[in-house]
Structure 1
């Protein structure tokens, strides 16, 4: 027996509510890291509020699934912490139109996170197929069927760098440095990564926060190094 929200959904002709397994079947092809525990963790963090059956089972609406997609896309493509995502989604729920860090509109995510096929990514970035291939070879971008806004930003930057003679192969050191920094973060959060999936999700959240701090330090060091040109 389902709760009132689920029953009213059927009676009104709306799309039927989905169980956790059905939500995973829809979203795991794009977000393979999504697990039942991660869904429960997102609920715990007040990012989604599924209905419940009389027996206590979670039931997700189409809008719940869209919201989960938004949250996971923000995490993956923009490395935003869940508390930032929650604040912005709450502002959207309140009728506001806030901008996320990086001047990305949160409303745009609610309309659906942008996904690009390979040819669309190349066209949107003003790039060439060979540049994308070179970026993949240099491990600056993954070999994927679909790409997000983060990949679009990277490829646009590579277009600008190629214009002054800086090729993806010249940036292999960037990848190596990033992997060293990732190893630092992994060691830092290792004590928090227990067997429980919710603990792993919390550790990932902490790791993304540490990554943002590393980005700030890296940008400052680069700016300081470039400052020597003005001397």
Structure 2
């Protein structure tokens, strides 16, 4: 498969994965696709299985790349899945992305409870130290408490790494922070009355309303950008 075909396979379960992310994982030695005489990458189903393992370990357990690399090395030497009952299993997938006997995907980890060190954030996102420093200076990415990062910080850093592959720099992202702050202020007015109540059910409804507002905002933003790009794309 080409890198584009692999991306199509993986995006079913990992919608945030990008071509730059796949190239980064290759540069880290986690997957080694063959090359054609013209230099194009050609992936096997075993390569796709390795990528699924890496992406699952990052998404569900926030494992650093050095740990994932050690697990893959053990798998290569033993001919079996990495040890440990709580770790994802490396499996082969078919041409339609099916995984025989696959267990249901576990519920996402609460982003606010995730704690990553600076080195782990850099390793798992694909950005470098200088980019991280610039993102913090611009307020696009914030550590909380100082020196530690949550799951949302990882999402932001990975998105920045993907945008960087197209030439966007941190300074171009200042508007995203400004727009997000405006939305936070607007949405906070809507959910604050429920969040301030002592009733746990009311606070639960506030959290659910916040999730729904975020999802609707993402849909609106994506649609507006698509509409705006139609003239550029000639559609």
More helix per residue: 1
- Could you state the TM-score of these two structures normalised by the residue count of structure 1? 0.48
* TM-score (normalised: structure 2): 0.47
